[in-house]
Amino acid sequence: MSVHQDKRIPEPQTILSALDTQARATMKLAQEQVSSIVSQETPRKSGETAAALRPRVSRTATGAALSVGPPRGKRHGNVTVAQVVRWVNRGTGIYREGPGSKRKIRAKNPLRRMNLGNGVERRSVKGQHPNQFMTRIRERGTLRVEELAKQGAQDAARVVERI
């Protein structure tokens, strides 16, 4: 004699809701771990930049996404954070990467000197060497997020099995 259980399949919306909740929880956990990577890799002098680059979790059509990048329109003095990140990553002056001629950076007014912020005034500077900190953040962060996503997928499967 066999016992037949009539177990109903849960509504698809219930399953999708459970998966969405688990995906967001996984991305929140990844956000905490990636934020420590961002603070370690961002150059020390740019405290405002590091704060602006904090990881953000957003909702997508397939679940949740984690992004690290300068927010649109956020200011850092007279320029945007996106410009600062681009200048630090690519370099400036004769050290910059990319097409075009590389030239020293000169003061806007030839009769005055540039104030470099530490009390030094110069008529021109060679520029800043590139610091590929965004690439390092992406490489280290991707590895960590992939590990957490695998674990989150297993956790989500267990949650769906219990429904």
Domain count, the chain: 1
Asked whether residue 87 is domain-assigned, the answer is no
125 SS3 class: strand
**CA–CA distance, 17 with 41 (Å, rounded to integer):** 36
**Cβ proximity of 92 and 128 under 8 Å:** yes
Task: Give a yes or no: residue 20 inside a domain.
Answer: yes
CB 152 within 8 A of CB 63: no
Backbone angles phi, psi at 92, to 5 degrees: -135, 165
Q: Is residue 116 part of a domain?
A: no
Name the residue type at position 120.
Answer: V
Local confidence band at 3 (pLDDT 50, 70, 90 cut-offs): low
pLDDT of residue 73: 83
Q: Which domain holds residue 37?
A: 12-66+132-162
Query: Residue 99 domain-assigned?
Result: no
pLDDT (0 to 100) of residue 4: 58
- Which pLDDT does position 110 carry in this prediction? 84
**What's the pLDDT tens digit per position in 66-124?**
888 888 888 877 888 889 889 899 999 999 998 888 999 999 888 999 888 788 999 99
pTM over 0.85? The answer is: no
Instruction: Say if 21 falls within a structural domain.
Output: yes
Instruction: Give the residue-averaged pLDDT of 35-41.
Output: 89
Higher-scoring residue by pLDDT: 12, 36: 36
Q: What is the pLDDT of residue 125?
A: 92
Q: What is the mean pLDDT of residues 143-152?
A: 90
Q: Would residue 84 count as lying in a domain?
A: no
Residue 145, domain member (yes or no): yes
CB 41 within 8 A of CB 133: yes
